[in-house]
């Protein structure tokens, strides 16, 4: 198992040209705790990569373990094959790859929470309250068996904490069909917009309602599978909501 980069226990992610916006710089942060909190409250990211010179953005599940993110998918799917083809820890499809020096696949992984609709008196100042994290880096295939298993557990637990220990683990055939990809948290930024509308002073007297409509994710009561044995209890990790 390769070691995830040691988090500098103090200090945030280093700023780079890519993680320094040209606008709204006051909304950008590099704080690790904030980044981790945003990442841990969501489980669907949008993963971008370049194929044939063109951008591709696909939604996918992810999990965080320390300073490393994992995504997974069918080993036959095109994006996962792209990582393998680009090389990885254990080399690409040709086998016998060059290890950690392999190039991997450049990606941008973005996670966004929508927290509110911001209605200002002016159309111009309408906005969204949100928290987002953008991770730039190189995705590498995980080939170490123990890390693969730990990553798959993390992926299940990231969406439903406690579930990985309460289901049948992947067998050898399923593991062979699953590609696991790692992306280290090295070049990372968060962006947050919160609070009410920022109307210009001369617009405040205008007769339009202004304020925020709070937005959140809601979980309804779990719906049992049609073939669930009657009497199967709802697990505690779901009874508490999600």
Contacts to a copy of itself from residues 120-159, by CB under 8 A: 120-124, 126, 128, 130, 132, 134, 136, 152-153, 156, 159
Name which of 9 and 35 has its Cβ closer to a copy of itself. Answer: 35
d(CA 56, CA 73): 16
> Sign of dihedral through CA atoms 70, 74, 75, 79?
negative
d(CA 176, CA 222): 31
Name which of 1 and 206 has its Cβ closer to a copy of itself. Answer: 206
Q: How far is the CB of 97 from a copy of itself (least distance, A)?
A: 22
d(CA 133, CA 140): 20
Cβ 133 vs Cβ 35: under 8 Å: yes
15 binds a copy of itself (CB under 8 A): no
The only residue of 10, 25, 26, 55 in contact with a copy of itself, by rule CB under 8 A: 55
168 binds a copy of itself (CB under 8 A): yes
Query: 203: alpha, beta or left, given left = phi > 0 and alpha = psi -120 to 50?
Result: alpha
161 binds a copy of itself (CB under 8 A): no
37 binds a copy of itself (CB under 8 A): no
The SS3 assignment for 44 reads strand
40 binds a copy of itself (CB under 8 A): no
d(CA 42, CA 73): 18
Binding-site size for a copy of itself (CB under 8 A) equals 99
Binding mask 211-230 for a copy of itself (x = CB under 8 A): xxxxxxxxxxxxxxxxxxx-
8 binds a copy of itself (CB under 8 A): no
């Amino acid at each position: 198992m390769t070691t995830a980069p040691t988090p500098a226990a103090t200090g945030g992610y280093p700023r780079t040209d890519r993680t320094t916006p040209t606008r709204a710089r006051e909304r950008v942060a590099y704080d690790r705790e904030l980044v981790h909190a945003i990442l841990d409250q969501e489980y669907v990211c949008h993963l971008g990569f370049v194929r044939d010179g063109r951008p591709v953005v696909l939604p996918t599940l992810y999990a965080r373990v320390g300073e490393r993110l994992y995504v997974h998918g069918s080993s036959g799917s095109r994006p996962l094959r792209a990582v393998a083809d680009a090389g990885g820890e254990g080399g690409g499809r040709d086998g016998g790859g060059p290890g950690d020096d392999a190039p991997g696949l450049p990606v941008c992984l973005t996670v966004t929470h929508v927290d509110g609709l911001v209605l200002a008196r002016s159309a111009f100042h309408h906005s969204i309250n949100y928290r987002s994290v953008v991770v730039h880096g190189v995705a590498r295939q995980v080939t170490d068996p123990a890390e693969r298993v730990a990553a798959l557990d993390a992926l299940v637990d990231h969406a439903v904490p406690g579930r990985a220990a309460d289901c049948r683990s992947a067998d050898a055939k399923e593991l062979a069909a699953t590609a696991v990809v790692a992306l280290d948290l090295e070049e990372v930024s968060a962006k947050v917009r919160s609070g009410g509308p920022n109307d210009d002073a001369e617009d405040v007297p205008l007769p339009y309602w202004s304020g925020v409509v709070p937005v959140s994710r809601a979980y309804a009561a779990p719906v049992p599978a049609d073939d669930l044995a009657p009497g199967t209890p709802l697990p505690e990790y779901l009874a508490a909501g999600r």
